C-alpha cells in the first residue's frame, strides 16, 4: 500500500496537475493583453510587411492554420515569419512587451487560443461536430476536392480540441476581439 501511495504522490498527482495546467494555461489577463496588442499592431500595420505577407499566405493556404501538433497555429506561424526580419521582430517584440508578454512565442500561443475560440463561435459547434464525425469519409476520398475537405477537417478537429476552460475564459472577450478584427479590415 505504501508503494501505491508513493506512486500516486510523486508520479500520478504531478501529472494530473500538469495536465490540468496545460488545459487552462491561458490566463484572463493574457487574453486581454493579446487583444490590446492586436489593436496596437493594427495601428502600425504598415511597419509589419512580413506579418502581412504571413496573413496573406494563411488566407491562400488554410492548411497552415493548423500546426503539426493539431492545434490552431495561425499566430505561431506569424511569429515564425516575423522573426525572419530582425527589424520587424524588434518592433513587434516592443509592442507585445508593452502588453506584458515576455516572448513573441507566448504571444502567438495565446493568440492561437483566442483565434480558435473565435473561429469555433463563427463556424458553430454543431457544424464542427458534423465535420469531425465525417472524418472517415473525408479520409477515404481522393482528388483535389478531397484534399480541401481534409484541410477543413483538420481545422474542425483543431477547434474540437479546445478545452472547456479555454472556451469559457476567452468567450467573454470575443466581442472586443471581433471589434479589433473588424477595425483592421
pLDDT tens-digit readout, 133-175: 888 887 777 777 777 888 888 889 999 999 999 999 999 999 9
Distance CA 182, CA 81 (A): 23
**Cβ–Cβ under 8 Å, residues 150 and 131:** no
Q: Which residues contact 158 (CB under 8 A, 6 or more apart)?
A: 65, 66, 70, 71, 72, 116
pLDDT tens-digit readout, 17-66: 333 333 348 999 999 999 999 999 888 888 888 787 777 777 767 778 89
pLDDT at 2: 52
What does pTM read for this prediction?
0.81
**What is the pLDDT confidence band of residue 122, given thresholds at 50, 70 and 90?**
very high
Checking if the pLDDT of 5 tops 60, the result is no
Checking if the pLDDT of 114 tops 90, the result is yes
Q: Which of 66, 92, 88 is nearest to 77 (CA)?
A: 66
Distance CA 159, CA 117 (A): 7
Burial class from Cβ neighbours inside 10 Å (0-12, 13-18, 19+) for residue 48 reads: buried
Cα-trace Rg, the chain: 19
Amino acid at each position: 500500500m505504501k508503494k501505491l501511495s508513493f506512486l500516486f504522490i510523486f508520479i500520478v498527482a504531478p501529472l494530473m496537475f500538469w495536465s490540468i495546467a496545460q488545459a487552462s494555461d491561458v490566463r484572463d489577463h493574457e487574453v486581454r493583453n493579446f487583444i490590446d496588442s492586436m489593436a496596437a499592431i493594427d495601428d502600425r500595420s504598415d511597419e509589419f510587411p512580413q506579418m502581412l505577407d504571413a496573413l496573406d499566405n494563411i488566407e491562400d493556404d488554410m492548411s497552415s492554420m493548423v500546426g503539426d501538433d493539431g492545434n490552431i497555429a495561425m499566430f505561431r506561424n506569424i511569429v515564425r515569419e516575423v522573426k525572419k526580419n530582425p527589424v520587424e521582430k524588434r518592433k513587434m517584440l516592443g509592442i507585445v512587451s508593452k502588453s506584458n508578454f515576455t516572448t513573441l512565442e507566448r504571444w502567438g500561443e495565446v493568440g492561437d487560443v483566442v483565434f480558435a475560440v473565435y473561429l469555433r463561435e463563427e463556424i458553430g459547434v454543431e457544424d464542427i461536430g458534423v465535420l469531425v464525425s465525417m472524418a472517415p469519409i473525408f479520409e477515404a476520398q481522393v482528388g483535389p476536392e478531397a484534399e480541401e475537405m481534409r484541410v477543413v477537417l483538420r481545422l474542425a478537429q483543431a477547434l474540437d480540441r479546445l478545452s472547456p476552460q479555454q472556451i469559457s475564459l476567452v468567450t467573454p472577450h470575443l466581442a472586443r476581439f471581433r471589434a479589433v478584427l473588424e477595425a483592421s479590415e
